[in-house]
Structure 1
Amino acid sequence: MLNVNKATSEDASVHHFRQPTAEDGYALNKLVENSPPLDPNSVYCNLLQCTHFAETSVAVEENGALVGFISGYIPPGKPDTVFVWQVVVDKSQRGRGLAKKMLHAIVERPACAAVTHMETTITPDNEASWALFRSFARDKGADIVDRIWFEKNAHFGGQHDSEALLRIGPFARDSQQTS
Structure 2
Amino acid sequence: MELAAGLRDGDRDSLEEIYRRWSSLVHTVALRQLGAHHEAEDVTQLVFISAWRSRHTLTPTEHALPAWLIGITRHRIADRLGERAREAHKVASVAARDLGPAGADVVAPADDSGAVVDRLVLAQTIEDLGDPRRTILRLAFHEDLTHEQIVSRTGLPLGTVKSHLRRGLTQLRRTLEEVRHEFA
TM-score (norm 2): 0.26
TM-score (norm 1): 0.26
Which has the larger share of strand?
1
Which has the larger share of helix?
2
